[in-house]
Structure 1
């Protein structure tokens, strides 16, 4: 497996106790370093940037969650445009977009990146189409192993709005960095179709290519809740294009609660991800610093991770881990969050009786139960726990998912199950 590339330096978080004078000083320094035109006036500097949408970057060569499977066939784009649709959690009137080449061996050049309001499918509201610039330029070349933020750009974005981010790839460019399990249709068109209102796709995918984050600047920013985990956080088996992952349901609950105004929820789940071993995306203990603590404005984190450490270990004995090793990894992440004054919550692992053997067995389930006992005891001294298992288990057989919550594979919830997970989270935890 390829070594994890150097992590990009994350945006700084300013402690709540920071004085206004120090805040302006840091903002001025940040503006000089970034060359952002939106930082030119004090009104913008006084307001907060916060993440409103994220997708964890993955190495395309390692996206298959089935151990021992051959790498996917090489994929590339040339003189093509890719339109991604994403649901913004929080709103604002200024945006910036991140593009990533973390897993690339060569520089990636994007001939243009646009953002617009989505009208569904591959269509956009043409009057909202906005060019994003990088250091003042419409094109951007991202070196291997690095990421780039666009300049901040005026763009009206209400909360819970679907936006389309379109990228144009002029020269033949192999896919190395993506988010494979988007649960959202991405459309591919020939040529430069960046501002096309009636974008005519030649094919569709369900991945995000190079685009990994959207930040907004707003007067209302109060905090960012990062959902961190595996395919259950990433929304596997939820309805494509319905935005029904558990963090999506949580984001809608927060948006509907006046007391939670100013909070956003972002998703840093990766299907197949584990705490202690690479399999699909870098292992959790390695990517937590970047994907959670590097999220702009992060204040809270929900960790739901470990079931793949248990299940995949049954396929590859040399990668088998104990419950104690899993909880030690979870403890590491809790400690990192607390050191950054990020309030962290641990989620119990969902029941999975009936999942494909030997992923599920009495032996693997015994490990899950041991991990859950450790979480419920809050030995890690997290801010609190979220009992996802209790919210989704079958009362008649607590080792399996409730039938009405089961997507059919006995491991991943369906839309109703994901909604039940979100309902199990007390919003008062974040207030």
Structure 2
């Protein structure tokens, strides 16, 4: 009985297969589809998800009087761009069983479900009879798809001979199918809407993206709905309602929507200075208001279980309509820094990096420029689609593409780190971490040992045995966790060597000659630093670098205090700030790497063996997968040339640091997320 109920629920789930963002169709656009007297309009849409049944949502959102639908039908056209449909596929639409309906002004209405098995990628013709064409029409002028008009009631006319070609989509908002599928909404301006695309070619960036989804068996159950509006703005109405006003309708209300990709803000920047220069205060204000709007939209999306993915704004210097100057370009760069590094978005797609000219990053690459220096060419739209990691939508590590960024995980301060919450031991924390790593498929997380601390807890040896029994390696973090800044090189190296007998016992087959500097400190004295490097090289060591570190250790003690007090609200706040800091750190590292090298280096993440780490690890690893990372080993990560100074200690130090590389390349170093307040649960 339960299985039947689940199957029924799966079959009965409606998912957006096609949709468009509705606006008021202005008079000049309405003239491209003249409805004089009783008329029939046939419009073609391409579906992104297939299923056995479908329904159509009609819209009178911007009408000022009831919209009368005298009859409606769906069918498969005989060919792409054709007016004629296959008569054997024609299905009348009904509305609560009736063949006609009146839609109140400002309202939208679903048809009854209709049985018409249809496949993903198929075209669907929607035919409407309008006995009284509306004076104020609702629709989407930028359809870039064929529509056809005939006078009178010709809904059942399969041939539609003599039809007048028309433009735009009118009074249709969505086609949904009944399928166990999910929908990705792309929301934005004319770049998302597909400006410049040949009619009926379906070569918007969202169309190329859908082709990628359908080609991969792990993502072919995903649909794409395009909610772009040419000329749309984030903050103010222009062509269509502003993004803040339409987001709930165009994203949150879409059936089956689980993700949205947002690319909008160029028109806000362009309009600011199109007619006259703006003051510095106005430039600062628009950056603050656009990024503030992004924060609001992300919160609204998450409140409804939708992940919001931020798309960086693409270059438009050279465009004659907006003629952006250095101040506008600086605004674009500031907004893009926010998108990449703020952690507001659940993930980021770097459309800017995909389309910009490396020799002149404020402009589109000529091959990707449609000619107006604002809108991409069709090749540019295809490049945009390729910039979207499919792993963002699978939630599974193995679905990440081959060029996805790599992430090696390391765990410092074994076997003891920080205070523990009531009921936890170092061994229980370790076992929870091991389980999370195994579940996520983390490749050989490297632990770093301070053997002098084994006796600090009664279960220190048990922690190390459990880690090794899981097949995870352990390496050298020095005996007593010393700070090189406060001691001389011989004493520091002696502390390193003192750790080795325990490592030989734990790792009898070798593989332990990696060294992680305690406190990540190589000292401020170059001579002492180089002496230690020489000593480590003589011992056969490689340095384990760190390129991602959000300060996870700072949450462990605060969590232990809050757990001891039973303060669930404070614990929930710590959980949110922990995840926010991790997300910011990941985006920060990628921004520095891409800015400095034009690519993702393999990253090395520093974590600790603590209570908060154990509590959050499943969610943390899931977030990294959602951001597109693939897990790898420290060995494989540091095979990258970036880590050469950590692998070959005969080279001058210090060990490679991502922020130093970014600074050397002239790339701004994004700020870190704050650590938790030390006073949390301390009073």
Same fold (TM over 0.5): yes
1:267 CA displacement? 0.5
The answer to whether residue 202 in structure 2 is matched with residue 237 in structure 1 is no
Q: Which runs of 5 or more residues in structure 1 are unaligned? A: 1-19, 25-41, 65-70
Residues 251-289 of structure 1, C-alpha deviations (whole Å, 9 max, x = no match): 111111111132111100111111000001110011101
1:380 CA displacement? 4.4
Residues 224-268 of structure 1, C-alpha deviations (whole Å, 9 max, x = no match): 100010111110111111001111111111111111132111100
Q: How does 1:221-260 map to 2 (within 5 A)?
A: 221=181, 223-260=182-219
Conservation of the 8 A alpha-carbon contact between 1:74 and 1:175: no
Conservation of the 8 A alpha-carbon contact between 1:233 and 1:270: yes
Q: How does 1:63-212 map to 2 (within 5 A)?
A: 76-120=35-79, 121-212=82-173
1:101 CA displacement? 0.4
Tell me the TM-score normalized by structure 1. 0.84
Cα distance between partner residues in 2 of 1:285 and 1:267: 17
Q: Which runs of 5 or more residues in structure 2 are unaligned? A: 395-683
Q: Which residue of 1 aligns with 2:617?
A: none
Conservation of the 8 A alpha-carbon contact between 1:52 and 1:90: yes
Q: Going by fraction, where is helix more abundant, 1 or 2?
A: 2
Q: Which residue of 1 aligns with 2:14?
A: 49
Q: SS of the residue aligned with 1:187?
A: strand
Distance 1:350-1:292 versus aligned 2 partners, 3 A rule: same
Q: SS of the residue aligned with 1:303?
A: strand
Q: SS of the residue aligned with 1:197?
A: coil
Instruction: Name whichever of 297-306 and 118-127 sits farther off.
Output: 118-127
Instruction: Name whichever of 192-201 and 419-428 sits farther off.
Output: 192-201
Conservation of the 8 A alpha-carbon contact between 1:122 and 1:198: yes
1:405 CA displacement? 1.2
1:204 CA displacement? 2.0
The answer to whether residue 317 in structure 2 is matched with residue 353 in structure 1 is yes
Tell me the TM-score normalized by structure 2. 0.54
Larger radius of gyration: 2
Cα distance between partner residues in 1 of 2:203 and 2:333: 27
Q: Going by fraction, where is strand more abundant, 1 or 2?
A: 1
Conservation of the 8 A alpha-carbon contact between 1:229 and 1:304: yes
The answer to whether residue 226 in structure 2 is matched with residue 267 in structure 1 is yes
Conservation of the 8 A alpha-carbon contact between 1:102 and 1:144: yes
RMSD: 2.3
Q: How does 1:323-338 map to 2 (within 5 A)?
A: 323-338=287-302
Residues 163-216 of structure 1, C-alpha deviations (whole Å, 9 max, x = no match): 110111112432421111101121111222212222135432221000010000
1:76 CA displacement? 4.2
Cα distance between partner residues in 2 of 1:329 and 1:235: 24
Instruction: Name whichever of 332-341 and 200-209 sits farther off.
Output: 200-209
Cα distance between partner residues in 2 of 1:362 and 1:396: 17
Q: SS of the residue aligned with 1:90?
A: coil
1:360 CA displacement? 2.0
Residues 61-103 of structure 1, C-alpha deviations (whole Å, 9 max, x = no match): 4988xxxxxx989964422111111110000011000100010
Cα distance between partner residues in 1 of 2:167 and 2:33: 16
**Greater relative contact order: 1 or 2 (C-alpha under 8 angstroms, separation 6 or more)?**
1
Distance 1:74-1:430 versus aligned 2 partners, 3 A rule: closer
Residues 92-142 of structure 1, C-alpha deviations (whole Å, 9 max, x = no match): 011000100010110010111111112232121111011010111111110
Q: SS of the residue aligned with 2:178?
A: strand
Cα distance between partner residues in 2 of 1:262 and 1:61: 36
Aligned match for 2:236, one of 245, 267, 277: 277
Distance 1:239-1:210 versus aligned 2 partners, 3 A rule: same
